[in-house]
Chain A
Amino acid sequence: MKTKILFWIFASCFLTHPLWSQELLAFKARDTGQEIKSISQNLKGTPTSETETRAFGPFQYPVNQGGFQRLLPDISAIGTFSGAYFSTEPVAGTTGADPAKTGFNLQEIELAVQSVIDPYFKADIILAFGEASVELEEGYFTTLNLPKGFQIRGGKFRLPFGRQNPKHLETLDFADNTLANKYFFGPDGIKELGVEASYLLPTPFFLQLQGTFSNGDNATSFNSLRKKDFLYQGRVSTSFDTSENTSILLGSSIATGANATTVDSGQLTNIIGGDFLFKWKPASYRSLVWQTEFIYRRMNSPTSFNRDGGLYSYADYQFSKRWHAGLRYDQMGLPANSIARESRITPAITFNPTEFSRIRAQYEYDKIKGTKSAHAAFLQFEFSMGPHGAHAF
Chain B
Amino acid sequence: MKKIIITFLTLLIPFTASAKLNVVATLPVFASIAQEIGGDRVQTRSLARGNQDPHFLDAKPTFVVALNQADVLIHGGLELEIGWLPPILVQARNPNINPNTPGNVDLSEGLNILEIPQTKVDRSMGDVHPRGNPHTWLDPENVRIMAVNIAEHFSELDGAGKSYYQNQLKKFLEALNEKMIQWNQETAKLKKKNVITYHKSLVYFCHWTGLEVIATVEPKPGIPPSSKHVDDLLDKIASIKVQAIIMESFYPKKVPEYLSEKSKLPLIMIPTDVGEEGIKTYFELIDTIIQKMRKVIS
A interface residue numbers (CB < 8 A to B): 18, 21-22, 25-27, 29-30, 32-33, 35-36, 39-40, 42-43, 46, 67, 116, 119, 122, 142, 144-151, 198-200, 202-206, 208, 237, 239-241, 244, 247, 249, 279, 281, 283-285, 287, 320-322, 354-356, 385, 389-393
**A36 CA to B184 CA in the complex, in Å?**
21
Contacts A202-B68, A356-B123, A385-B123 known; list 8 others, CB within 8 Å: A25-B188, A27-B177, A35-B173, A40-B148, A144-B90, A144-B95, A200-B93, A240-B62
The 7 closest A-B pairs by CB, nearest first: A239-B61, A206-B61, A284-B53, A27-B181, A25-B184, A39-B148, A202-B15
Please indicate the chain B residues that have their CB under 8 angstroms from the CB of A122 in the complex: 90
B98 at the binding interface (Cβ < 8 Å):
yes
B64 adjacent to chain A (CB < 8 Å): yes
What are 30 A-B contacts with C-beta separation under 8 Å? A21-B191, A30-B177, A32-B170, A32-B174, A36-B166, A36-B173, A39-B145, A39-B148, A43-B110, A116-B99, A149-B94, A200-B91, A202-B16, A202-B69, A203-B15, A203-B65, A205-B65, A206-B62, A240-B62, A244-B49, A249-B61, A279-B58, A354-B123, A354-B223, A355-B127, A356-B123, A385-B123, A390-B59, A392-B88, A393-B60
CB distance from B178 to the nearest CB of A (A): 7
* Closest A residue by C-beta to B192: A16
Q: B177 and A32: CB pair below 8 A?
A: yes
With a cutoff of 8 Å between Cβ atoms, the chain A residues found around residue B159 in the complex are none
Q: Write out, one digit per residue, whether chain B residues 200-244 have a CB within 8 A of any chain A CB (1) or not (0).
A: 000000000000000000000011100000000000000000000
Asked if B114 is at the interface of the complex by the 8 Å CB criterion, the answer is: no
Are A247 and B188 closer than 8 Å at their CB atoms?
Answer: no
B73 contacts partner chain A, Cβ-Cβ < 8 Å = no
Assess whether B161 is interfacial by the CB under 8 Å rule: no
Cβ contact within 8 Å between A25 and B185? yes
Could you give, for residues 116-129 of chain B, a 1 whenever the CB lies within 8 Å of some chain A CB and a 0 otherwise?
Answer: 10000001001100
Contact A321-B86, Cβ < 8 Å, known A148-B95, A239-B61, A240-B62:
no
Total interface residues on B, using CB and 8 Å?
65
Q: Which of chain B's residues have a CB closer than 8 A to the CB of A151? A: 90, 93
User: CA–CA, A144 to B93, complex, Å?
Assistant: 7
Let me know if A247 and B98 touch, CB within 8 A. Answer: no
Interface string of B78-94 (1 = CB under 8 A from A): 00001111111011111
Q: Are A29 and B177 in contact (CB under 8 A)?
A: yes
Query: Are the C-beta atoms of B64 and A200 separated by less than 8 Å?
Result: yes
Q: At the interface, yes or no: B144 with Cβ under 8 Å from chain A?
A: yes
Q: How far is the CB of A277 from chain B (nearest CB, A)?
A: 10
Measured between beta carbons, the chain A residues less than 8 angstroms from B43 are none
Q: Is there contact, CB below 8 Å, between B148 and A43?
A: yes
Shortest C-beta distance, B46 to chain A (Å), equals 13
The reply to whether A42 and B60 contact each other, CB–CB distance below 8 Å, is no
Docked-complex contact B93 and A148, CB < 8 angstroms = yes
What residue in chain A is nearest B82 (Cβ atoms)?
A390
The answer to the question of B131 belonging to the interface, with a C-beta cut-off of 8 Å to chain A, is yes
Q: Is there an interface contact between A43 and B61, defined as CB atoms closer than 8 Å?
A: no
In the bound complex, residues from chain A placing their C-beta under 8 Å from that of B222 are: 354-355
Q: How far is the CB of B128 from chain A (nearest CB, A)?
A: 12
A150 to B93, alpha carbons, bound, how many Å? 6
Given known pairs A29-B177, A149-B93, A206-B61, the reply for A67 and B170 (CB within 8 Å) is no
A144 to B127, CA, bound (A): 29
Contact yes or no, A321 B252, CB < 8 A = yes
Chain A hits for B258, CB < 8 A: none
User: Would B98 and A205 count as touching, CB distance under 8 A?
Assistant: no
Residues of B within 8 A of A42 (CB): 110, 145
Give the CA-CA distance A326 to B151 in the complex, in Å. Answer: 48
Kindly state the separation between the CA atoms of A343 and B77 in the bound complex, as whole angstroms: 48
Residue on B with the closest CB to A389?
B86
With CB as the reference atom, state the residue of chain B lying closest to A24: B184
Bound Cα distance A320, B56 (Å)? 13
Asked whether B260 is an interface residue with its Cβ less than 8 Å from the other chain, the reply is: no
Nearest CB on A from B190, distance (A): 12
Contact present for B58 and A393 (CB under 8 Å): yes
Contact status A43-B87, CB under 8 Å:
no
**CB contact between A119 and one of B12, B58, B98, B252 (< 8 Å): that residue:** B98
Kindly list chain A residues whose C-beta atoms are within 8 Å of the C-beta of B188: 18, 21-22, 25
- Residues in chain A near residue B102, CB distance under 8 A: none
* Most chain A beta-carbon neighbours within 10 Å: one of B91, B96, B116, B222: B91
Q: Across the interface, do B64 and A40 meet the contact criterion of CB distance under 8 Å?
A: no
